[in-house]
Amino acid sequence: MPPDTRSTVGAARIARVEILCLRYPLAKPMESVMGRLDSRPALLIRLEDTDGAEGWGEIWCNFPQPGAEYRARLAAASLERALSIVDPGAPGDAFRLLRQRLHMLSLQSGEGGPADQIASGVDIALHDLASRKAGVPMATFLGGAPRALDGYASGIDCRLAPEMITQARGNGYRAFKLRVGFDRATDTGILANAAGLIEPGEVLMIDANQSWTVSDIDGLKDHINDAPLTWVEEPLPVDRPDTEWARVAAVLHAPIAGGENMRSADAFDNAISGNVFDVIQPDVCKWGGLSGCLDIAKRVIGAGKRYCPHYLGGGLGLVASAHLLSAAGGDGLLEIDVNDNALRELLAGPLLPLRNGRAVTPDAPGLGVTPDRAVIREFQVLHFDFAPIDDSAET
């Protein structure tokens, strides 16, 4: 757990909150099995305490297309009072406390996901604030140290694999993940030719984005097993029965990866203790924040499995993922989306571009990144700025 920094921050409280929804329009729409995007969003949160210190976080908002604006409005409405329960000097329990506070909201709306994502973004911002005040990088604050990380090029449309891999290779990547699951013929073709896509010393993964059925996998298993794959990610929808997951694990030779859509500590416990998943991938902006995901990561590594953070969003969440992976240890790879997204490059600070094929975790205090207000103004579509209401005596 992060150190208790209350002795350095005193009794400061959160005095100001900003919710900033950004959109970067795409010249060419991005296609996936989940749908089409004609812009890339990022939903940022900035917290300022009564000492004037600030902390930044990011809230997951990739899908569906209008989800970023919705989450921005929901965050502004729900956090006005919810933040009264958190101590900015001791962020290590922030996600759990915020989820408790937002639990009734998620029940009433029938939407646990957005509440988890908002709590995760706040958790990151609180950790950024506390580690800045402590004067140490986030990875150090979390119990590790900044380090160079092997990254992999993610989000590669399998239909564009040759050109996208060539471009990513030129930018220093030596590991590549293809999005599959568009249709059986396309999947069969790309798997049959997978070995020809990579060079000696490189690695290849595939991500079905929950799009396959057991029947699909039975039909593709020979092609999957013949391909040189480091892992097969989310071959089934996360809510399929354990019997189906066991069937898939029995027929596939490559390790199975998943975790970005697991929504509870129990789900991660089952994945860590079970025999299906060898690679576990919580998303720091989607569930758990830094406090929840650090615990998961350490338990994954302790169980002899591989922790690789999932991430597909703006630059702040990517930097938070790098700090978390640096602190957790292990040999996990850092996921870096290589599709067009200025909100990744412009907000990731010194993390990108790769250096000698590796991403170097920032070593300045906190995340080591402060968003440029000019960038925010250029892409901002919504902005909320408010002082939280302290109703802690009522709760």
The C-alpha atoms of residue 203 and residue 330 are separated, in whole angstroms, by 18
Give the burial class of 379: count Cβ atoms within 10 A of its Cβ; 0-12 exposed, 13-18 middle, 19 or more buried.
Answer: buried
The C-alpha atoms of residue 46 and residue 64 are separated, in whole angstroms, by 24
Q: Cα dist. 37→41, 60, 100, 336 in Å?
A: 10, 15, 33, 18
The C-alpha atoms of residue 375 and residue 170 are separated, in whole angstroms, by 27
How is domain 140-360 classified at the CATH fold level? TIM Barrel (3.20.20)
For residues 47, 50, 52 and 56, what is the CA-based torsion angle, rounded to 10 degrees? -10
Per-residue pLDDT of the chain (395 residues; tens, 9 = 90+): 444 443 344 588 999 999 999 999 999 998 888 888 999 999 999 999 999 999 999 999 998 888 999 999 999 999 999 998 888 988 999 999 999 999 998 899 888 999 999 999 999 999 999 999 999 999 999 999 999 999 999 999 999 999 999 999 999 999 999 999 999 999 999 999 999 999 999 999 999 999 999 999 999 999 999 999 999 999 999 999 999 999 999 999 999 999 999 999 999 999 999 999 999 999 999 999 999 999 999 999 999 999 999 999 999 999 999 999 999 999 999 999 999 999 999 999 999 999 888 999 999 999 999 999 999 999 999 999 999 998 654 44
Q: Report residue 84 as tokens.
A: 């009264």
The per-residue DSSP string of 254-292 comes to SPEEE-TT--SHHHHHHHHHSSSEEEE--BTTTTTHHHH
54 touches 13 (CB < 8 A): no
The closest alpha carbon to 59, from 76, 77, 43, belongs to: 43
* Side chain identity, residue 331: D
Q: Cα dist. 246→114, 119, 180, 251 in Å?
A: 30, 32, 21, 9
332 touches 325 (CB < 8 A): yes
Q: Are strands 306-307 and 334-337 parallel, antiparallel or unpaired?
A: unpaired
233 touches 206 (CB < 8 A): yes
Domain boundaries, the chain: 6-138+371-394, 140-360
The C-alpha atoms of residue 229 and residue 218 are separated, in whole angstroms, by 17
pLDDT given for residue 63 in this prediction: 85
The C-alpha atoms of residue 185 and residue 197 are separated, in whole angstroms, by 18
The closest alpha carbon to 210, from 164, 256, 158, 251, belongs to: 256
Architecture of domain 6-138+371-394: 2-Layer Sandwich (3.30)
Q: Report residue 86 as tokens.
A: 């958190």
Q: Are strands 148-157 and 277-280 parallel, antiparallel or unpaired?
A: unpaired
3-state class (DSSP) for residue 298: helix
| Long-range contacts, 210-218 (Cβ 8 Å, 24+) | 210/234, 210/236, 210/237, 210/238, 210/261, 211/33, 211/180, 211/181, 212/181, 212/236, 214/240, 214/244, 214/247, 214/248, 216/184, 217/248, 217/251, 217/252, 218/251
The C-alpha atoms of residue 23 and residue 262 are separated, in whole angstroms, by 26
Q: Report residue 143 as tokens.
A: 């119990």
pLDDT given for residue 84 in this prediction: 87
pLDDT given for residue 65 in this prediction: 86
